[in-house]
Structure 1
């Protein structure tokens, strides 16, 4: 198994487990705080995600690229010097970001919510923003340590620390919310505020894990430096210039989804109010940017792990001008996304009512299930943007990744309010699809022109993936039609759960059987996958 694939599977497994836990916990969290709490929670996390990216200024992933580059040249000393300088920088920027977010909470909230006769008020939003801002003190320092390990193509520290951080955070959210609401008799606003504070508690747990890894790996890192025969002896100013040249684009690329959500926060409620739909805006917003988003984001988790694991290896291949290797890596990266995300997002769209009803609430599925179905295909665009941006960064075209994102963001800003007023809550989804679609197309175009890259192989395999996904969809529709005779899955939650399991299991098995029997999976992953074979009884 190739090094990139091992790293991909490790980071992807950790990211998937983290995202899966992030989806599962919202089921009891929904029962505790409802749509209002979910909307309030998401209003805190969108600006928080933006401040995280701004406070790290793209340094962690840039350090990953920097370390990979100089390690491939045998200059381990420069890598270590950069890590030390970046760590000091992250401590300062994290604290400054905390102060800015904490002190500007009222100003941010007042621009997002219009009117006082609403379930979520500006003062409520300001409170949860302040609570989550405390995590900014710790998170940047954690992320740079992860980036340093990834630059050494060691994905374990990132994977383990992510999982531990998520488990601790979720435990604090659920226990804290339960105690505040059912033991202390507190309000939903207070419960959500302390739930956002859980980001800080989870970050502390991650610090402990990374400290253990650092203590274990430090002797080996010191040995690398002591044995090196040549150093470029770069001045600190030159190191920082190169680092920020890499880092700048990482900032905006990492902001894509939070920025889309942030634009929704400023436009959704006013546009829904202007179009006479104010009575449903809280429920609709919670589906798009909280509960439904948790479901949709799982298929694109593969993209996150892939882009992080791919960058050091792709950078190394490009630096060494190994055209055959980086061509293979780019093709494999894109095809892994397509073979997994296309059927997953299509399945969520078909089973949207059953998924939302089984996980959250059977009421108002005509709105909630419909929005989830529209939102599901966006997972593919998110995944492709993440990976194509990672490819551009790996081949020193990171500035173009920024231009493509800015083009998409401008389209979202200019059209979002109009789309919401025209199509209702779906308009926000259409705005996100338009923005991410523009960015993906521009990224593909730049990859093609910069490398004279040919997508023929990827296009042919995508067509085969589409055929298998269509067959899967037909199977799921048939299962729904048959089960509808026996199961009231549109009315009862237990029946929706059963239909979801039957539909996902049946459709997924058919797709895997087709992809495995045709050797499509073998060709994309570079070898047989024993786990799939055992699952299919082969």
Structure 2
């Protein structure tokens, strides 16, 4: 297998692993929401928000930096230096894991009681804390194997981790519930699935480590002396490259952490403590998983262009760079929007289909609507990283988080939970605007140009079609079992929105036939038959 084929295969493995992991993470919430009560929902949501925030700080950025440093050393025929760098990374990960675990375990009661104001969540947070012992090391091992051009190890470990985490979480929650334990204990059992997930992932990485050692012995690399590079120098190089990436990766975990921390303090006075706990559970265990669906496909398609963008930037090919940046942003918006529309207009039926009650359908719809700005934020962040501007994304994400924090306190006074949700969309929107402003100083591009009007008309009409069909479909609830009616309604609305959306995009010339060849093949195959709707397709190709 050639290096190019190996790279493509590895990229596909990582993409599939990330997709499976994301979908399993979303699927997990549905059965747990049925097993947990209001306090359990809130406790599980709070524990996960804290955990993911700390995990991002402990691991994000450093594995990719380690991968880059290791691959460079092997390319320069300096395996002894790569070995030293890997050792240094493992030392740091062990230290970070111990410190993070102790901090999370020790501070859990204080955070749960005085910050999040869900004291019952302390047990769930502590149950998840031991997972941090292993995850920093697992992340370093994945980064090292990627640097050795072995994407399979990280991909398989990620899939095993998610299956172990999700399966254990649901099983333990069910067993504890049947045994008569309370809501907080059941939530703790569910969060403990993360610990078993880390053990599964670590076991996979150890298996691939043993295989790599045998392979290195055959190549005469295993017994090489480790280069005596000072640890201080290695850590300086690692952190210089990784800290901007870490802070750039914090946008979504930080927003979710802020929500878990402030919802009860801000809205308890308006709706009461018990209702605020219920709302916190709805946001974290219903709205956030549903809102996490639209970015999956949109980000996967748009970020597939990032290597091309990086190459064009390195070659100083401004024309190609402009075209690819434009394409990445267009794909992100145009493939993310139909899913956002469908989930928003059908939020009531989705709630009834997946969860234990119809409560909070408005919360699900509003949070999902703001996801379009999360998609544009993540795509523009990736583009900036691709053109070597990680410090810019660090600054824009920090500004966005500050916007989220301050606007939440202001808007919650007037709109309650909806004000907090509006502040989330506002934060992502501000980050997107700042990113685009910086990008335009580097490359003169236009996302849709004069096509925005056609795009907005498409969104409005397809939303109206979906909403109208959804309201008509609700009458089926009186004719058959409610969940069956909700399922049929979701399917009808989803199909109608997607078809009407893309037909209108083509009819309004937002998507043009002469540009179709630039899009990923999967989009070409879907859209090519619809292009017959377009007349005079060679005219007005700009804009």
- TM-score normalised by structure 1 residue count: 0.83
C-alpha separation in 2, matches of 1:495 and 1:127? 38
Provide closer, same or farther for how the CA distance between residues 346 and 157 of structure 1 changes in structure 2, counting only shifts above 3 A: farther
The equivalent residue for 2:91 is 88
The equivalent residue for 2:247 is 252
Which is further off, 523-532 or 435-444?
Answer: 523-532
C-alpha separation in 2, matches of 1:523 and 1:435? 34
Q: How does 1:138-537 map to 2 (within 5 A)?
A: 138-151=134-147, 155-182=151-178, 184-216=179-211, 237-302=232-297, 305=300, 318=313, 327=322, 329-364=324-359, 368-449=360-441, 451=442, 453-456=443-446, 459=449, 468-488=458-478, 492-511=482-501, 519=513, 522-527=516-521, 532=526
C-alpha separation in 2, matches of 1:290 and 1:233? 49
C-alpha separation in 1, matches of 2:497 and 2:480? 19
Which is further off, 413-422 or 2-11?
Answer: 2-11
Q: Secondary structure at 1:455's aligned position in 2?
A: coil
Cα deviation, residue 4, structure 1: 9.2
Provide closer, same or farther for how the CA distance between residues 303 and 511 of structure 1 changes in structure 2, counting only shifts above 3 A: closer
Task: Report how many aligned residue pairs link the two structures.
Answer: 519
Cα deviation, residue 468, structure 1: 4.9
Provide closer, same or farther for how the CA distance between residues 301 and 363 of structure 1 changes in structure 2, counting only shifts above 3 A: closer
Cα deviation, residue 94, structure 1: 1.1
> Mind listing any 5+ residue stretches in structure 1 that lack a counterpart?
115-120, 227-231
Cα deviation, residue 272, structure 1: 1.0
Q: Secondary structure at 2:275's aligned position in 1?
A: helix
C-alpha separation in 2, matches of 1:18 and 1:535? 33
Which is further off, 58-67 or 287-296?
Answer: 58-67
Q: Secondary structure at 1:361's aligned position in 2?
A: coil
Cα deviation, residue 97, structure 1: 0.9
CA displacement 1:58-92 (0-9 Å, x = unmatched)? 31132244456667778766555433322221122
Provide closer, same or farther for how the CA distance between residues 370 and 71 of structure 1 changes in structure 2, counting only shifts above 3 A: farther
Q: Secondary structure at 2:103's aligned position in 1?
A: helix
Which is further off, 321-330 or 273-282?
Answer: 321-330
C-alpha separation in 2, matches of 1:429 and 1:139? 30
Provide closer, same or farther for how the CA distance between residues 459 and 242 of structure 1 changes in structure 2, counting only shifts above 3 A: farther
Cα deviation, residue 195, structure 1: 1.1
The equivalent residue for 1:105 is 108
Which is further off, 340-349 or 317-326?
Answer: 317-326
Which is further off, 440-449 or 127-136?
Answer: 440-449
**Is contact 1:25-1:170 (8 Å) kept?**
yes
Q: Secondary structure at 1:456's aligned position in 2?
A: coil
Cα deviation, residue 233, structure 1: 11
Cα deviation, residue 475, structure 1: 3.5
C-alpha separation in 1, matches of 2:228 and 2:486? 63
C-alpha separation in 2, matches of 1:512 and 1:179? 46
Provide closer, same or farther for how the CA distance between residues 188 and 472 of structure 1 changes in structure 2, counting only shifts above 3 A: same
**Is contact 1:112-1:267 (8 Å) kept?**
yes
Cα deviation, residue 304, structure 1: 6.0
Cα deviation, residue 282, structure 1: 2.0
TM-align CA RMSD: 3.8
**Is contact 2:396-2:431 (8 Å) kept?**
yes
Cα deviation, residue 471, structure 1: 4.7
Provide closer, same or farther for how the CA distance between residues 302 and 6 of structure 1 changes in structure 2, counting only shifts above 3 A: farther
Provide closer, same or farther for how the CA distance between residues 28 and 454 of structure 1 changes in structure 2, counting only shifts above 3 A: same
The equivalent residue for 2:66 is 63
Which is further off, 317-326 or 192-201?
Answer: 317-326
C-alpha separation in 2, matches of 1:351 and 1:409? 29
- TM-score normalised by structure 2 residue count: 0.83
The equivalent residue for 1:136 is 132
Provide closer, same or farther for how the CA distance between residues 289 and 492 of structure 1 changes in structure 2, counting only shifts above 3 A: same
Provide closer, same or farther for how the CA distance between residues 369 and 149 of structure 1 changes in structure 2, counting only shifts above 3 A: same
**Is contact 2:33-2:285 (8 Å) kept?**
no
**Is contact 2:53-2:254 (8 Å) kept?**
yes
Q: Secondary structure at 2:294's aligned position in 1?
A: coil
**Is contact 2:88-2:234 (8 Å) kept?**
no
The equivalent residue for 2:56 is 53
Q: Which has the higher contact order (CA 8 A, sep 6+)?
A: 1
Provide closer, same or farther for how the CA distance between residues 320 and 200 of structure 1 changes in structure 2, counting only shifts above 3 A: farther
Q: Secondary structure at 1:275's aligned position in 2?
A: helix
> Mind listing any 5+ residue stretches in structure 2 that lack a counterpart?
222-226, 533-543
Cα deviation, residue 256, structure 1: 1.6
Provide closer, same or farther for how the CA distance between residues 191 and 396 of structure 1 changes in structure 2, counting only shifts above 3 A: same
**Is contact 2:343-2:368 (8 Å) kept?**
yes
CA displacement 1:120-154 (0-9 Å, x = unmatched)? x41x2221111111100011111223333445665
